[in-house]
Amino acid sequence: MTIEQSMSLIHPRRHETQWHQHATGQLYWVRRGIIMVETDQAQHALTLGSVGWFPPTWRHRAWMPADSECHSLHLDAQGSAGLPAYPCVRAADHFLLLLLDKVLLAHEQAPGDPYPAHLLAVMTDEIGRAGELPLQLPLPADRRARQVAELLLVQPDCALNHEMLAQQSGLSSRTLSRLFSQQTGLSFSQWRQQARLIHSLAHLLQGDAVALVAGRCGYENVSAFIAAFRSRFALTPGQFQARQMR
C-alpha cells in the first residue's frame, strides 16, 4: 500500500481542469473554498469538513467556483482497494483531517519510508467508516434529460417550470419526470432543489449575503432558501458561512 503522488494546491476562482483519468485512486480534501468534481455520472462538491474519493480510471474533471486551497493523494491499486469502488464524498471529522495532513506530510518528508503506509491503513479505515455527505448530484444519462440538467446547472435561477423545460427538450413532462427518477434516483423537483443548494455553496463561500444567494439560486424569498438549506445540510446558510470561513 503506497502513495504514488501527493499535492498541495492553491487555485483561484474559475480554475478548471480538462476531462482526464488516472491509473491511481485520488483523495481530495479542502482547506479553503470549494472544489467541484464531475464524473460522467454525477457532480460532487468538496468543502471544508469533507473528503472526496475518486477510484482509479474514473474519468473526471474539476473546477473551483471560489478561491480554493486543497490537498490530494494518489493511491496505488492496493491502497485504492480498501476504499469504495465508486466516487463519493465522506464526512471528515477533526481526527480524519489531522490524519490526512499527517499522511501527506510523512509522504513528502520521507517518500520511501514505510511509516506513511501504516498511517494510510488507518486513514483508509477511517474513511470507510465515515458517513456520506449530501454533496453529490447524480446526472441523467439520457441526452434530452441531460440537456435540461445542464441548463439548470448553468442557470439555477431559470424561471422555466417543469412543463416548459420538458417541452423545450422535446419531451412530455411525464417522460422528463420518469427519466430523472430512473436515472438519478431523485424526482425532478428533488434534483432541481439539490442543484440549487449545491450551487449556493460557492456564493456563500465568497461571502455573499444570504438574501442575494437565495435570488441567484432561484428562490422566491430568503425564508424558502434557508428552510431548504437547513433541511438538506442540517444548518442554516449563515451557519455554513461561519463554519467554512472562520
Q: Where are the beta strands (DSSP E) in the chain?
A: 3-11, 25-32, 35-39, 42-46, 50-54, 60-63, 68-75, 88-91, 136-138
- Which of the listed CATH numbers 2.60.40.3080, 2.40.50.140, 2.80.10.50, 2.60.120.10 matches domain 3-129? 2.60.120.10
> Which pLDDT value is given to residue 174?
97
| Residue 90: per-residue pLDDT | 97
Q: What is the pLDDT of residue 111?
A: 66
Question: Which residue type occupies 7?
Answer: M
Residue 207: what residue type? G
On the question of pLDDT at 245 being above 80, the answer is no
pTM to 2 decimals?
0.91
* DSSP designation for 41: S
**pLDDT in the model for residue 164:** 96
Domain covering 139-245 assigned CATH 1.10.10.60 in the classification: yes
Kindly list the domain boundaries of the chain, sorted by start residue.
3-129, 139-245
What whole-number distance in Å separates Cα of residue 246 and Cα of residue 243?
6
How does residue 246 score in pLDDT terms, banded at 50, 70 and 90?
Answer: low
pLDDT in tens, 56-76: 999 999 999 999 999 999 999
Q: Is 122 exposed, middle or buried (0-12, 13-18, 19+ CB in 10 A)?
A: middle
Q: What is the distance, to the nearest Å, from the Cα of residue 203 to the centroid of all Cα atoms in its chain?
A: 15
Indicate the average pLDDT of the chain.
93
CA distance 33 to 120: 25
